[in-house]
Structure 1
Amino acid sequence: MSVIEIIKLGHRYLKLWPERPELSEYFQEYYAISLARFVWRNFLGFSLFILLLFTLVAGQQNMSLLVFYVVFALSMPIQVLVMLGVKADKMLPPGLSSWYKEGLARYNESGGQLQLSSQKPRYIDLAQLLNLTYQSSIK
C-alpha cells in the first residue's frame, strides 16, 4: 500500500468506529480511536496557538524553532491517520476473529446482508460490523 492509501484507510477507520462509550469495556481500540479523534479535531487550533504564543514570547528570534514546533503540531493528525491505517489493515487476533465471525453470522441471520471478509478479517472489517450493528440498533 502507498502512504496515501494508508492515510485514506486510517481516515475511513476513524470515521467507521462507533463513538459508543460501552465499547471501551470490550475493546482497547476504543481509547486509541478516542485519542485519534481528539488529535484530528484539535491539533490545527493547537498549532495556531503555538504559533501565536511563540511569536508573542520569543519575537522574531528562533524562527527555525518556531517552524519546527508548528510543523510538528500540524503533522500530528497525519501521523495519527497513518498509525490508524496500519492498524486497520492488520488481521484480527484469533479470539477477536472468532467473535467477529459470530457477530457477522448473527447480523446476517437477523436480516442484514453484509459482504465482509470472514476468512481473514481485519480491524477495518470489525469497525464496519460494529458501525452497522449500532446503526441498525438505533433504527
Structure 2
Amino acid sequence: MAQTVFTLFKDGQQYMQTWPVKKELYPLFPECRVISATKLAIKTMPPLAVLTVALAYSATGLATLPNAVAMAIFFLSIPVQGLLWLGHRSNQWLPPSTSSWYRDIHQKMRQQGCFVANMKPRPKYKELAALLKTAFDDLDKAFTQRWF
C-alpha cells in the first residue's frame, strides 16, 4: 500500500479538516497539537520565508542569499511536514484499545439515533476522526463528556 507524497498531502488536508480539535481530545491524541501547529505554520511560515530572504538580501546583498534561500525552504517545509504526518496518521490502523473505544462510541451513537457510517471491522484513524466529529457536532455536551 505504497502512497505517493501527493496522496499523503491530500489525506493530511482532509484529516486536518475532519479531526475535531476539542480540549477533551488534547491529552488523548497528538492530532490536536499537530493540527494546531500545522495551521499556525501555514499562516506564518510563508511570510517568514519571504522576510528572511528579503532581509538577508537587503542587509548583505548576494553574499548570504544562498543561506537565506535555504532557510526559507526550511520554513516552507514545516507546514508540509505537518500535513504529511497527518496524512500518514490518517491511514494507520487503530491500536486494539482505541479500536474497542471506537466500537463502543459507534454503538452508543447508534443507540442515540445518530446517523453514522457502518462500523469498519478494522478501523483507521480517519474513521475515528469522522466518528468523533459527528459525536461532537450532533450530540450534546453532557453525553460526549462521559466518554472523556
TM norm structure 2: 0.82
Distance 1:74 1:25, change over 3 A: closer
> Residue type matched to 1:78 in 2?
V
Query: Which of the pair has the greater relative contact order for Cα pairs under 8 Å at 6+ separation?
Result: 1
Q: 51, 56, 77: which one pairs with 2:53?
A: 51
Residue 63 (structure 1) shift: 1.9
Q: State whether residues 104 and 129 of structure 1, in contact with CA within 8 Å, keep that contact through their aligned partners in structure 2.
A: yes
Residue 3 (structure 1) shift: 1.7
Q: 94, 100, 119: which one pairs with 2:96?
A: 94
Unaligned runs of 5+ in 2: 142-148
Q: State whether residues 90 and 124 of structure 2, in contact with CA within 8 Å, keep that contact through their aligned partners in structure 1.
A: yes
RMSD: 2.0
Q: State whether residues 116 and 134 of structure 2, in contact with CA within 8 Å, keep that contact through their aligned partners in structure 1.
A: no
Q: Which runs of 4+ in 1 moved over 6 A?
A: none
State the identity as a percent. 27
- In the other structure, the counterpart of 1:6 is 8
TM norm structure 1: 0.87
Residue 79 (structure 1) shift: 1.9
Distance 1:88 1:133 in 2: 18
Alignment partner of 1:24 is 2:20? no
Map residues 98-137 of structure 1 onto 2, 5 A cutoff.
98-137=100-139
Residue 117 (structure 1) shift: 4.5
Secondary structure of 2:26's counterpart equals helix
Unaligned runs of 5+ in 1: none
Distance 2:124 2:48 in 1: 33
Distance 1:54 1:22 in 2: 43
Deviation per CA, 1:85-135: give whole Å up to 9, x if none: 011100111111100111111112211222254211111111111111111
Residue 84 (structure 1) shift: 0.9
Residue 7 (structure 1) shift: 0.7
Distance 1:62 1:116, change over 3 A: farther
Secondary structure of 1:85's counterpart equals helix
Q: State whether residues 46 and 73 of structure 1, in contact with CA within 8 Å, keep that contact through their aligned partners in structure 2.
A: yes
**Number of residue-to-residue matches in the alignment:** 139
Map residues 35-50 of structure 1 onto 2, 5 A cutoff.
35-50=37-52
Distance 1:30 1:105, change over 3 A: same
